[in-house]
């Protein structure tokens, strides 16, 4: 009997499992994950899971019974450490060797670490796993002080959750504005305003130089000599693709595991999907690596189809979201390379608007804040290659559905 081994108990891995069974794959499926949990949703970790609004069971992608019904062999809490691509064998950290016919790498990503004086003190945390959040919770209490290093989405979502729990929160961002790598200045200004209104203290151009404390963190210092008291420090400065296993297998890696439109690596018996992969996007005509649930799920479906002999090229439009306070940000497309932003709604005082990113007259992406209709229409526009006139995009009086026929 054929055997498909999937490494990484992630969104992508779970989708591969159930897509294989939906496509009538009759072989054995083995799922290896280094955490002792079934595959779970990671986005809630910095939001509702951190704030205590949901439990572990509530963030599982599927319950255990679903894996039993799919006849999946689970090897959780076990780390895959090497691949022998010639023998087609996967080695685990306890010495077990698992032969495979097809190997799927859904290894995801890991938090980027800091190397600073004091970075080994108790109370400094990253936020990537259930265990990370449970450790952070030990230090969460109303009135206690949190310093968040990094003003990206993870840092800001964490700040929002901690404010909800009554903590004093400071965000330190090394760049000149928060969200600088991922959005336009107008969006950065909006989120800076909102977090300030909610009681977060944000400092930009703040390069962290050390973590101060005896055994436990007590403060964070920056290059300009400022010191910020802290009972807990959360570092959110980005993630790195997990490619060690791919490198041990000898497959091509370049800012992620390189895959073709069918999710195949340079070795046709090894496929990959999710945060760990780099692929060519036909919509934007460039190589990209995406860190999103959408990409993980859609690419995993392609993996399953390829394994089942139903080759279906990956061509999905990227989309993302972020929840902070009463704000749901939904992003369709990739905004890199834009030369202007057209705003529909009140971005300066309100909390509901859509920002359309353009390159010349071509629509690249939309950031919709509490505007689900603009998000859905934006996805359709981008998927169909439609670019309405900028004046129509900006006019809140124009029925958003009419943009499709522009």
pLDDT digits (tens, 9 = 90+) for 142-163: 999 999 999 999 999 999 999 9
**Position 318 in a domain:** no
Note whether 205 and 346 are same-domain residues. Answer: no
**Position 320 in a domain:** no
Last residue of one domain, picked from the residues 276, 307, 338: 307
Residue 404's pLDDT is what?
87
Output the domain CATH number for residue 394.
3.30.390.30
Note whether 80 and 162 are same-domain residues. Answer: no
What is the average pLDDT score of the chain? Answer: 96
**Position 315 in a domain:** no
Residue 1's pLDDT is what?
84
Q: Give the tokens for residue 184.
A: 């336009």
CA dihedral 346, 348, 349, 350 (to 10 degrees): 40
Last residue of one domain, picked from the residues 307, 338, 353: 307
**Position 168 in a domain:** yes
Residue 45's pLDDT band, with cuts at 50, 70 and 90, is very high
Note whether 100 and 25 are same-domain residues. Answer: yes
Alpha carbon 29 to its chain centroid, in Å, reads: 26
Note whether 57 and 16 are same-domain residues. Answer: yes
Residue 283's pLDDT is what?
87
**Position 280 in a domain:** yes
The torsion region of residue 374 among left (phi > 0), alpha (psi -120 to 50) and beta comes to alpha
- Residue 78 belongs to domain spanning: 3-110+240-307
The answer to whether 162 and 47 have CB atoms below 8 angstroms apart is no
Note whether 25 and 98 are same-domain residues. Answer: yes
pLDDT at 406 over 90: no
**Position 117 in a domain:** no
Give the percent of the chain with pLDDT over 90. Answer: 93
Last residue of one domain, picked from the residues 235, 266, 296: 235
**Position 312 in a domain:** no
**Position 283 in a domain:** yes
- Decide the pairing of beta strands 168-172 and 145-149: parallel
Note whether 47 and 66 are same-domain residues. Answer: yes
What would the mean pLDDT of 375-393 be, rounded to a whole number?
A: 95
pLDDT tens-digit map of 175-192: 999 999 999 999 999 999
Residue 53's pLDDT is what?
92
Number of domain units in the chain:
3
pLDDT at 394 over 90: yes
Name 1's Cβ contacts closer than 8 Å, sequence gap at least 6.
26, 27, 28
How many contiguous H segments (helices) and E segments (strands) does the chain have?
Answer: 10, 26
Note whether 343 and 298 are same-domain residues. Answer: no
Alpha helices in 38-169 (DSSP H): 56-59, 64-69, 130-137, 153-164
């Amino acid at each position: 009997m054929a055997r498909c081994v999937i490494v990484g108990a992630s969104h992508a891995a779970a989708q591969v499992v159930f897509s294989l069974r939906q496509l009538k794959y009759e072989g054995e499926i083995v799922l290896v994950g280094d955490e002792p949990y079934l595959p779970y949703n990671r986005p809630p970790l910095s939001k509702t899971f951190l704030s205590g609004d949901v439990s572990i069971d509530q963030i599982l992608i599927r319950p255990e019974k679903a894996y039993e019904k799919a006849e999946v062999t689970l090897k959780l809490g076990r780390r895959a450490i090497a691949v022998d691509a010639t023998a087609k064998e996967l080695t685990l950290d306890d010495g077990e060797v698992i032969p495979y016919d097809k190997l799927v790498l859904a290894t995801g990503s890991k938090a980027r670490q800091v190397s600073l004086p004091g970075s080994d003190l108790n109370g400094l945390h990253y936020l990537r796993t259930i265990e990370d959040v449970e450790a952070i919770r030990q230090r969460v209490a109303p009135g206690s002080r949190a310093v968040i290093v990094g003003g990206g989405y993870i840092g800001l979502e964490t700040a929002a959750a901690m404010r909800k729990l009554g903590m004093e929160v400071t965000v330190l961002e090394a760049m000149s504005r928060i969200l600088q790598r991922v959005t336009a200045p107008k969006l950065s200004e909006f989120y800076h305003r909102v977090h300030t209104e909610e009681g977060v203290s944000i400092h930009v151009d703040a390069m962290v130089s050390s973590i101060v404390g005896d055994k436990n963190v007590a403060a964070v210092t920056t290059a300009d000599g400022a010191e910020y008291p802290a009972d807990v420090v959360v570092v959110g400065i980005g993630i790195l693709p997990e490619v060690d296993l791919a490198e041990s297998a000898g497959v091509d890696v370049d800012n992620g595991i390189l895959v073709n439109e069918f999710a195949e690596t340079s070795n046709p018996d090894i496929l990959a999907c999710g945060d760990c992969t780099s692929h060519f996007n036909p919509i934007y005509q460039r190589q990209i690596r995406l860190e999103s649930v959408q990409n993980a799920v859609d690419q995993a479906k392609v993996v399953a189809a390829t394994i089942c002999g139903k080759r279906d090229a990956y061509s999905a439009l990227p989309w993302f979201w972020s929840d902070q306070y009463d704000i749901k940000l939904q992003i369709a497309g990739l905004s890199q390379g834009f030369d202007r932003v057209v705003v529909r709604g009140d971005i300066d005082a309100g909390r509901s608007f859509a920002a359309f990113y353009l390159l010349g007259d071509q629509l690249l992406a939309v950031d919709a804040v509490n505007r689900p209709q603009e998000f859905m229409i934006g996805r359709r526009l981008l998927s169909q290659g439609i670019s309405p006139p900028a004046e129509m995009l900006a006019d809140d009086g124009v029925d958003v559905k009419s943009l499709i026929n522009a």
